[in-house]
Amino acid sequence: MDMSAYPLELPADDRPMVRFMNVVKSYGRLVVLDQLNLDIAEGEMVTVIGPSGSGKTTVLRMLMTLETINGGVIYIDGKPLTHMERNGVLVPADERHIRKMRASIGMCFQHFNLFPHMTALQNCMEGPVQVLGLSKAEARARSEELLTLVGMIDKKDQHPSRLSGGQQQRVAIARALAMRPKVMLFDEVTSALDPEVIGEVTNVIRKLVAEHNLTMLMVTHQMGFARDISDRICFFYRGKIEEQGPPAALFGNPQKERTKQFLSAVKEAD
Amino acid sequence: MSFDWKWDFTWEILPRLLAATVNTLIAAGAGYAIAVVLGLVLALAQRTPWKPLTLIVREFVEFIRSTPLVLQIFFVFYVGPQFGIRLSPWTSGMIAIGLHYSAYLSEVYRAGIDAVPRGQWEACRAINLSTRDTYFRVIIPQALPPSIAGMGNYLVGIFKDTPMLSVIGVAELMHAANAIGAENYRFLEPYTLVGLIFLAISLPTAGLVRLFEGWVRRKMGM
């Protein structure tokens, strides 16, 4: 693959927070993402929707470096994430480079993935203390502030097994925010929740959108929620962006046949 | 031949057997300590990205598990000196039994680590923990409670295997019973007592391990 076509760093006048450039992801012969090009501006909230198997979650997992990519380059804040410079060209990043770059990204998972042997507070303090090198007192102050933000401060000394799904997810959001990421990823964070607690998680995300200048990328099946809070919706179909645009346009007046089919199928299911 | 149990002989030899029991416990404890630590090293070595190391450790574990403990004890004690490694019976015994059980414990740890959900590893990456912190602060603490039952089995196992150390002259319980038998031409009482002493220690140990497991789980909030 010719890497000379990819800049070592994006120019200052064309520097989105996230850029997928010709990104390919395949498992053997199965191509999950085919030449993906996607920019996300600083502070933008982008939601990815689409049928299952369309590669939505893979987009987030690649950005979190949970998956390696098979082609193209991902840039974060202008700098390559998946690659690093060596002798003037980009080569696949080593673990050290990935660790450095990964510090800008936070992620919340469908199944929360809180550490079960730690309390809510300890879950939030773990990264700041072990990775960022904050003192226990600083990390505690920061974590308590975030647990207050997500409405979980009164449960800070509980272990995850004592919390409901919605409560666990709110702690997980606080844990991710405690690392002060520039980009937050939400991977179907309400899919594993009982219907009556979905609101407590979506309200936290609404608050983040309203009060913080975070860049966010979200995969969700909550179409109403996506429509409310997103700046842009990307409809994925078979590993490509079939259609994208502001929520009002994409939901109100979809242009592509696939998009119309998907939206009407989802509407019926609601 | 009639059953004739001599109580005065029993009382006479009991102190000597109890003294040897202390040696047995020390042997089992020291061997187990080696096995617990070395087993973890072996389990982690099998997960390094460096394939040759993984392969060597894998083969080593298989080799240890496929050959008799008594052979390994003889090997360390009698063959070691040919390579200039001269060890006392005690040291040889501890090393052999510790090595042997480390292979088994590494499998227990491996199963425990494999049982930790993938999401935990991903959460560690998402908050950018180092590999070391991922293992020692997140994965191993969660792998521990499900491993305790297996670790407890091998604790009893190592204790029951200490008589094998008598073959190289370690003065543990079996060694003492053999000596008493040979001196007095009576084996019924010493061997029966050895059996009872092993039973008296093994049985409560298994129960204590279960209590310990429950305590660890509660302590960890799991």
* CA–CA distance, B222 with B73 (Å, rounded to integer): 40
Residues A49 and A220: beta-carbon distance below 8 Å? yes
Residue B1 has pLDDT above 60, yes or no: no
Domain boundaries, chain A: 13-222
> Domain for residue B15, yes or no?
no
Sign of CA dihedral A129, B48, B95, B199: positive
What's the full length of chain B, in residues?
A: 222
> A160 CA to chain B: closest CA distance, Å?
8
> Domain for residue B220, yes or no?
no
Residue A93: its H or E element: none
> Domain for residue B8, yes or no?
no
Average pLDDT (A243-256) is 94
CATH code of the domain containing B42: 1.10.3720.10
Q: Quick one: DSSP state of residue B139? A: I
- Hey, what amino acid is at A28? G
A183 touches chain B (CB under 8 A): no
> A251 CA to chain B: closest CA distance, Å?
32
Q: How many domains is chain B built from?
A: 1
* CA–CA distance, B133 with A131 (Å, rounded to integer): 9
CA-based nearest residue in chain B for residue A116: B222
Beta-carbon contacts of A57 under 8 Å, excluding residues fewer than 6 positions away, are: A187, A188, A219
> Domain for residue B52, yes or no?
yes
Beta-carbon contacts of A60 under 8 Å, excluding residues fewer than 6 positions away, are: A48, A107, A185, A187, A217, A219
Q: Would the CB atoms of B130 and A99 count as touching at under 8 Å? A: yes
pLDDT (tens digit per residue) in B155-168: 999 999 999 998 89
Question: Which residues in chain B are contacts of A169 at CB distance < 8 A?
Answer: none
> Domain for residue B155, yes or no?
yes
Q: How many Å is the maximal CA-CA distance in chain B?
A: 75
Domain that holds residue B126: 34-170
Q: Is the ipTM of this complex over 0.85?
A: yes
Question: Which residues in chain B are contacts of A113 at CB distance < 8 A?
Answer: 117, 119-120, 122-123, 126
Residues A162 and B221: beta-carbon distance below 8 Å? yes
pLDDT at A14: 92
Sign of CA dihedral B165, B171, B173, B179: positive
Residue A69 has pLDDT above 90, yes or no: yes
> B29 CA to chain A: closest CA distance, Å?
28
Q: Would you list which residues of chain B are within 8 Å, Cβ to Cβ, of chain A?
A: 117, 119-120, 122-123, 125-130, 133, 137-138, 141-142, 220-222
> Domain for residue B188, yes or no?
no
pLDDT (tens digit per residue) in A14-29: 999 999 999 999 988 8
Q: What fold, for A13-222?
A: Rossmann fold (3.40.50)
> Domain for residue B152, yes or no?
yes
Q: What is the mean pLDDT of chain A?
A: 93
Buried/exposed code over A74-113 (b: 16+ C-beta within 10 A; e: otherwise): bbbbebbbbbbeeeeebeebeeebbbebbbbbbbbbbbbb
Average pLDDT (A224-253) is 94
